[in-house]
Amino acid sequence: MHGWIFDICEMIQNHPRLHRDATRIIPPPSPMLCGCCGVVRCMFLHLSADRSSKHLEYSKWKRSPYKHQSNVICSFLRLDLLPAKNGEEVTKHFLQELLNILLAYISKSLNRSSKVLDFHHPHQLKEGLEGFSLELQDQPDNLEQLLVDCQDTLKYGVKTAHPCFFNQLSTGLDIIGLAGEWVTSTANTNIFTYEIAPVFILMEDIIFKKMHSIIGWSEKEGDGIFCPGGTMSNLYSVLLARYHFFPRVKTAGMLALPPLALLTSTHSHFSIKKSAAVLGIGSESVFLVKCDERGKMIPKELESSIRTAKSKGLVPFYVNATAGTTVYGAIDPLNDIADICERFGLWMHVDAAWGGGLLLSKRHRMKLQGIDRASSITWNPHKMMGVPLQCSVILVQKKGLLQECNQLCAEYLFQPDKHYDVSYDTGDKSIQCGRHVDIFKLWLMWKAKGSEGFESQVNHCLENAEYLYYKLKSRKDFQLVFQSQPEHSNVCFWYLPTSVRNMPPGPERDRELHMVAPKIKAKMMEEGMTMIGYQPLGDKVNFFRCVFSNPATQKEDVDFLLDEITRLGRELYS
Amino acid sequence: MHGWIFDICEMIQNHPRLHRDATRIIPPPSPMLCGCCGVVRCMFLHLSADRSSKHLEYSKWKRSPYKHQSNVICSFLRLDLLPAKNGEEVTKHFLQELLNILLAYISKSLNRSSKVLDFHHPHQLKEGLEGFSLELQDQPDNLEQLLVDCQDTLKYGVKTAHPCFFNQLSTGLDIIGLAGEWVTSTANTNIFTYEIAPVFILMEDIIFKKMHSIIGWSEKEGDGIFCPGGTMSNLYSVLLARYHFFPRVKTAGMLALPPLALLTSTHSHFSIKKSAAVLGIGSESVFLVKCDERGKMIPKELESSIRTAKSKGLVPFYVNATAGTTVYGAIDPLNDIADICERFGLWMHVDAAWGGGLLLSKRHRMKLQGIDRASSITWNPHKMMGVPLQCSVILVQKKGLLQECNQLCAEYLFQPDKHYDVSYDTGDKSIQCGRHVDIFKLWLMWKAKGSEGFESQVNHCLENAEYLYYKLKSRKDFQLVFQSQPEHSNVCFWYLPTSVRNMPPGPERDRELHMVAPKIKAKMMEEGMTMIGYQPLGDKVNFFRCVFSNPATQKEDVDFLLDEITRLGRELYS
């Protein structure tokens, strides 16, 4: 070590404001002078708690009074990172320390004894908690502080990978998928020309072919594009259907068209209505078709809705069938709906954002029989397949339609005179122009799991749902929202406090029952050991919806959830 | 070490198909039996080339004949990763190895002597290069192979962080932004309710306030939402403007509205036309306003286009002014356009996707004077501010409009009876419902750089542009597409081979010149040392467009670019 390093070393150890454990110092690759105070900067290390260990950590001066403007010595700033000259070492140490933070977080997320969330109200977080301030300054913070900020951001967030997080359709954290995301963000490119994303564009192509064959489309059929979420995928489907029947709409707009009608079930996702509103068709053009007790569209009702729309002078053109509704997980009778669509000459879309994953399971895929007859399909690998958010796709049976519908041939973006096959430039197929690379994590997961791996993952989730279903069936303090066995991994139920259980059915009981789930959920979030969603639906008052998509979740977690609801319920209603 | 470890160790070293350097073996946390062959699995390590180093690396059996089905021993599979019992060690080693790969890639990307890209045609990559196969199997691959796949994916991609990558508006790789992405993907959540993204939702709020104040909006004004790219942000602006003037459109569609007209310049981004097509207004409703030689909208032409639209019975309602056009980097005269919009009662949108970053520079922000008068603004921090892709925002002056325009109040998604302030649930403000978390990387970068850091980064890029501009001005073998100094970091120019230089102006020279840029680009991509885009525009034949947004780029890189074009040009035209 150079002499000056020892000098600084001593200076640090004698300095009252610096960390006392700073016993080691590593020399920077070359002496660097701080721009503001002119003193040599270097990186401080201290031996970790276990002094025999060779693992060195950055000293954490987190919220110490130590500041850059201190005239003694400066910690590293982001300007010391690459692309700074000799920035490799600092970059390496910074990202290594980040990795350690992320690994600790991942381990904690999967540890059943740790909390799912550490809840705070917005005003509390805004005021700053234990030195974690969200406010931004004009002056830069040092790297140490940034690492602490990363740690705090995770700490006050929600551990969506936790085996007891049942709140959303997307749960869990696939390590391979995560690795895929890290590679993607390091590649930092845009997937709109082959020129700047050659590998990713071909991976999309390969995954599409895989998905087409799983659906049952022939090799001559099928196209697709990755979208920022299922709502966007559904919006694409309406856009494509409209263009397919009325290509004039692209240039002349809706005024050149007759008044249109879309059909979807009362249990379907609100994105069909949203698409109608956005695309200028109007949300009133959406006809909501009645469902059975189980949440499945009734084919006869679809027919009569089509006739109603026609009798009002509207032109029905699009039917959305859902494979896996958000709340009940219901799958519409696809073949019956396909028959009707064929008879009336309508575009059949299947919103399989949630249910698409079942296609990978030999045991469950027949539930989606008829899906190959769809003109377009939404499928979100970020849901049942456990791919990190976001990963959603719109698949289209008719080749070339995406391109025709969306292309504007802006030559300043997509040059036709390039030296490679420009049919691989996908930018003009999309609404978005530049697109985020959502393919790599899915491709890598497929490599890692094989189709078999996805299959066992899906089966596992549905077994958990079945387990919960039978558990609930046998209990008197719980009531299922519908009696039949779940088709997907959604299980819907009420918790019945004794007071409610003793009330006769009727509006008074409903009023009381409606308040149970929100009350329990509020307490659940404050205690933070598990998390599950609730909602009302149609004439059903607030009930819990449990969904399984996290491979980490086991039967013991299902038991824990019920115990926890019971415990909280008893506390609230004793 | 246990006895069985030694046995395996010996087995490996004697095994003809295994790596000879495998001299070390670390025991798995507990003996694990392979599901298919029943043999103990463990992790092999070998000393790195420098045997004195303590740094251990996984042995890389990449494309060795070693396979999982081998009856000898199995490498680790993704099932050994978390959430597997005792999966911490394998997860740690896997992600550590990935980090090493990513660090090496980052260093290489910033190394001027390495290539920007290693070009291959689609069919070559599809066939598989040096064992890199894109095809997917039903059987899983082992973790070693997956790491090699990650390495290969990066190898055959494009190094967008390279100082000599001039091809896109988004270039460079900010290490802090990258760290932000890694944290985001580890948190793996959706930003649509406070419940599951409390910290991220508040960060959005804070960044919006920051952006509003930079623009010059008062505290009472301003709203916004992060979008998947600038095209989507622009689409939001048209959607909002339409709803603002004609709220009936949401339910009743375009048929309830008069025929509309939108106005934008001939140099503007094609997303305005795309929005009109998607939203059912029709692309023919877009009036392209003439620009001056510099690519800036001519206010008088805007006025006359508005009158033309009116005379055709259309109702103009929306004007897009561009602050930083894609090709020329031109900034429309915002104040003049604002005056006209006020006079005619039109919505003024500013597409500052590219130019927004200039607002952070005291030296350049006056170029966007008048932007505070806009009703909505698109601003992509993933462009000039160097935030990793994607990070784009639509800012709206009128509070509450986003919510009104997009909300459908689906109670099954957004429950009003939660125990916290549900005004923080942003899902109903967006088209997308679930949204990717694009905020954290920006927030973290702001913490790291401060506003000052962004300012010096922007100034640096514009200095590079100025340097290139003056270089070109002094050369006879190059010609500027327009003579005035660039307003943004775009510099547009032709390379003139001697043969072209000697031709008189006219269609023949144009035909010849039109082919120069594609020819040079093709060769440039094959050699891979730099990358720059070209395009025709209006009556201008193919020309190069150089843009600067990478803080790593220095004047020496600008010199290199010109030398390289000259060298390739001479080779092609000698």
Tens digit of each residue's pLDDT (9 = 90 or more) over B45-71: 332 233 332 222 333 332 222 333 332
Strands B260-265 and B286-289: parallel
Q: B112 is written with which tokens?
A: 């001027």
Residues of B in contact with A517 (CB under 8 A): none
Task: Give the distance from residue A65's alpha carbon to the nearest chain B alpha carbon, in angstroms.
Answer: 18
Mark which of A131, A155, A179 sits at the end of a domain: A155
Place of tokens 């994590």: A441
| Interacting residues of B313 by C-beta distance below 8 A, sequence separation 6+ | B259
Name the amino acid, one letter, at B444.
L
Selected residues 178-207 of chain B with any CB under 8 Å from a CB in chain A = 178-183, 185-190, 194-200, 202-203, 206-207
- Is A381 in the same domain as A295? yes
Which of B155, B175, B199 is the endpoint of a domain?
Answer: B155
Q: Do B410 and A270 touch (CB under 8 A)?
A: yes
Q: In what order do the strands lie in the sheet with B491-495?
A: B165-166, B531-537, B540-546, B491-495, B478-480
**Does B128 contact A at CB distance below 8 Å?**
no
CATH number of the structural domain spanning residue A382 = 3.40.640.10
Note whether A204 and A137 are same-domain residues.
no
* CB-based contact, A5 to chain B, within 8 Å: no
- Does A179 reside within a domain? no
Strand partners, B227: B392
Q: Is residue A36 in a domain? A: yes
Which pLDDT score, from 0 to 100, does residue A411 have?
A: 80
User: pLDDT-based confidence at B139, cuts 50/70/90?
Assistant: confident
Asked if B306 contacts B336 with a C-beta cutoff of 8 angstroms, the reply is: no
Scanning A346-365 for CB atoms below 8 A from B yields none
Q: DSSP code of A117?
A: B
**Mean pLDDT for the stretch of residues A249-261:** 98
Contact: A199, B436; criterion CB under 8 Å? no
What mean pLDDT comes out for the span B66-91?
70
**% of chain B beyond a pLDDT of 90:** 82
Yes or no, beta carbons of A185 and B419 under 8 Å apart: no
Residues 292-311 of B with CB under 8 A from A: none
> Could you say which of A278, A283, A542 has the minimum Cβ distance to residue B431?
A278
Nearest CA in chain B to A540: B412
List the single residue in A with minimal CA-CA distance to B423: A122
Confidence tier at B138 by pLDDT (50, 70, 90): confident
| DSSP letters spanning A24-54 | EEE--SS-EE-TTT-PEE-EEEEE-SSTT--
Alpha carbons B348 and A160: distance in angstroms, whole number: 41
Q: What's the whole-number mean pLDDT along residues B89-96?
A: 94
The answer to whether A8 and A73 have CB atoms below 8 angstroms apart is: yes
Q: For residue B409, tell me if it sits in a domain.
A: no
B231 near A CB under 8 A: yes
Q: Tens of pLDDT along B473-525?
A: 999 999 999 999 999 999 999 999 999 999 999 999 999 999 999 999 999 99
Residues of A in contact with B413 (CB under 8 A): 270, 326, 535
Say if residue B242 is in the same domain as residue B388: yes
The arithmetic mean of pLDDT across residues A285-289, rounded, is 98
Domain co-membership, B273 together with B398: yes
Q: Is there a contact between B286 and B327 (Cβ–Cβ < 8 Å)?
A: no
Supply the pLDDT for residue A391: 98
CB neighbours of residue B471 within 10 Å: 17
Distance from CA of B457 to the nearest CA of A (A): 11
Residue after which a domain boundary falls, among A132, A155, A178: A155
Q: Is B420 on the interface with A (CB under 8 A)?
A: yes
Quick check: B153 and A183 CB within 8 A?
A: yes
Of the partner residues A230, A418, A535, the one whose CB lies closest to the CB of residue B412:
A535
pLDDT in tens, A69-119: 332 234 678 888 999 988 999 999 999 999 999 999 999 999 999 999 999
Q: Is the pLDDT of residue A355 over 80?
A: yes
C-alpha distance from A374 to closest chain B C-alpha (Å): 22
B250 to chain A, any CB pair closer than 8 A? The answer is yes
Contacting residues of B for A253, CB less than 8 Å apart: 254, 259-260, 276, 280-282, 284-285
* Chain A residues lying within 8 Å of B432, measured CB to CB: 228-229, 231-232
Q: Is the pLDDT of residue B409 over 90?
A: no
Q: Is the pLDDT confidence value at A62 over 90?
A: no
Across the range B81-100, mean pLDDT stands at 94
Which has more pLDDT, B79 or B388? B388
CA closest to B80 among chain A residues: A175
Distance between CA atoms of A246 and B315, rounded to whole angstroms? 24
The verdict on residue A324 lying in a domain is yes
Instruction: Please report the DSSP string for B246-281 in residue order.
Output: -TTHHHH-GGGSPPEEEEEETTS-THHHHHHHHTTS
- Is A72 touching B (CB cutoff 8 A)? no
| Torsion sign, CA atoms B16, B21, B24, B29 | negative
Query: Helices (DSSP H) in B15-142: which residue ranges?
Result: 88-109, 122-127
Q: Which domain holds residue A126?
A: 3-155
Residue B27 has pLDDT above 60, yes or no: no
Residue A160 pLDDT greater than 90, yes or no: yes
Beta carbons of A208 and A224 less than 8 angstroms apart? yes
* Same domain (yes/no): A198, A291: yes
Q: Are strands B43-47 and B56-58 parallel, antiparallel or unpaired?
A: antiparallel
Cβ burial, residue A378 (10 Å; 0-12/13-18/19+): buried
Rounded Cα distance, B128 and B149, in Å: 12
A118 in contact with B, Cβ within 8 Å: no
Task: Specify the pLDDT at position B562.
Answer: 98
B539 near A CB under 8 A: no
Rg (CA), chain A: 28
**CATH for B538:** 3.90.1150.170
pLDDT at B467 over 50: yes
Task: Count the residues in chain B.
Answer: 574
Same domain, A98 and A210: no
Q: What is the mean pLDDT of chain B?
A: 89
Residue pair A457/B257 in contact (Cβ under 8 Å)? The answer is no
Q: For residue B137, what pLDDT is reported?
A: 86
Please tell me the least confidently modeled range out of A337-346, A410-419, A511-520, B182-191. A410-419
Task: Count CA atoms within 13 Å of residue A514 on its CB side.
Answer: 16
* Chain B: closest CA distance from residue A434 (Å): 7
Q: What is the rounded average pLDDT of the residues A293-313?
A: 98
**Cβ B75 vs Cβ B26: under 8 Å:** no
**Best of A278, A378, A452 to disrupt the B interface by mutation (most B CBs within 10 Å)?**
A278
Which residues between 424 and 463 in chain A have a beta carbon less than 8 angstroms from any beta carbon of chain B? Answer: 424, 431-437, 440, 443-444, 446-453
Omega before B381 within 30 of 0, i.e. cis: no
Specify whether B135 is located in the same domain as B243: no
What are A107's two structure tokens? Answer: 């381990």
- DSSP, residue by residue, A120-171: --HHHHHH-BTTB-----SSPPPHHHHHHHHHHHHHTSB-TTSTTEESSSS-
Q: In Å, how far are B247, B251, B347 from B243, measured between CA atoms?
A: 4, 10, 11
Is residue A30 exposed (0-12), middle (13-18) or buried (19+ Cβ within 10 Å)? exposed
Distance, in Å, from the CA atom of B393 to the CA atom of B229, rounded to the nearest integer, reads: 8
Which of A188, A199, A446, A545 has the most B C-beta neighbours within 10 Å, making it the best mutation to test the interface with B? A188
As a whole number of angstroms, the distance between CA A373 and CA A369 comes to 9
Average pLDDT over residues B136-148: 90
- Disruptive mutation site among A185, A237, A382, A439 for chain B (greatest number of B CBs within 10 Å): A185
Of A135, A183, A432, nearest to B154 by CB-CB distance is A183
Interface of B with A in 459-488 (CB under 8 A): none
pLDDT mean over A180-203: 97
A264 φ, ψ (degrees, to nearest 5): -155, 165
d(CA B269, CA B95): 40
pLDDT at B26: 40
Looking at A88-92, A158-162, B337-341, which range is the least confident one?
Answer: A88-92
Angle between helices A143-155 and A88-109 (to 10 degrees): 20
Cβ–Cβ < 8 Å for A263, A320: yes
B280/A283 touch (CB, cutoff 8 Å), yes or no: no
Predicted pLDDT of residue A170 = 97
Torsion of CA B245, B250, B253, B256, to 10 degrees: -50
Q: How far is B3 from chain A (nearest CA, A)?
A: 25
| B443 within domain boundaries | no
Where residue B538 falls (left for φ over 0; alpha for ψ -120 to 50; beta otherwise) is left
Query: Is B232 an 8 Å CB contact of chain A?
Result: yes
**Mean pLDDT for the stretch of residues A33-43:** 39
CA distance B86 to chain A (A): 10
| Cα distance between residue A30 and residue A153, in whole Å | 33
For an interface test with A, the pick among B129, B186, B251 (most A C-beta atoms closer than 10 Å) comes out as B186
The most distant pair of C-alpha atoms in chain B lies apart, rounded to whole Å, by 92
**Residues B248 and B374 placed together within one structural domain of the fold:** yes
- Look at residue B55 and give its three-state secondary structure: coil
Each residue's pLDDT tens digit, B175-204: 999 999 999 999 999 999 999 999 999 999
- Strand pairing category for A260-265 and A165-166: unpaired
Looking at residue A53, its pLDDT comes to 27
- Residues B473 and B391 reside in one and the same domain: no
Q: Is A206 close to B431, i.e. CB distance below 8 A?
A: no
Residues A253 and A212 occupy one common structural domain? yes
Contact B398, B412 (CB under 8 A): no
Question: Based on the domain organization, do A211 and A145 belong to the same domain?
Answer: no
Q: Are residues A417 and A456 in the same domain?
A: no
Q: What are phi and psi of A98, to 5 degrees?
A: -60, -45
> Which residue of chain B has the CA closest to A432?
B231
| Kind and range of the H or E run holding B223 | strand B223-227
pLDDT for A75: 64
- State chain A's mean pLDDT as an integer: 89
> What CA–CA distance (Å, rounded) separates B53 from B369?
58
Please name the member of A186, A187, A412 whose beta carbon is closest to the beta carbon of B327. A412
Inform me whether the C-beta atom of residue A69 falls under 8 Å from chain B C-beta atoms.
no
Given a cut of 50, is residue A16 above it in pLDDT?
A: no
Backbone angles phi, psi at B24, to 5 degrees: -130, 150
pLDDT at B411: 80
Return the pLDDT at A49. 30
Q: How many CB pairs under 8 A join A and B?
A: 493
- Cβ <8 Å between A421 and B450: no
Burial profile B31-40: b = 16 or more Cβ within 10 angstroms, e = fewer: ebebeeeebb
Say if B439 falls within a structural domain: no
Question: What is the pLDDT at residue B60?
Answer: 30
The rounded distance, in Å, linking the Cα atoms of A204 and A378 is 15
pLDDT of residue B49: 30
**What pLDDT does A124 receive?**
95
A274 CA to centre of own chain: 20
Q: What is the pLDDT of residue B75?
A: 65
DSSP letter for each residue of A258-299: PPEEEEEETTS-THHHHHHHHTTS-GGGEEEEPB-TTS-B-H
- Grouping H, G, I as helix, E, B as strand and the rest as coil, residue B420 is coil
* Structural domain total, chain B: 3
pLDDT above 70 covers a percentage of chain B that reads 87
Q: Is residue A176 part of a domain?
A: no
The candidate with the shortest Cα–Cα distance to B544, out of B570, B521, B567, is B521
Calpha distance B108→B159 (Å, rounded): 9
Residue, of A427 and A496, whose pLDDT is higher = A496
Averaged pLDDT for residues B387-396: 98
Decide if A171 is inside a domain.
no
User: Over 70: is that where the pLDDT of A206 sits?
Assistant: yes
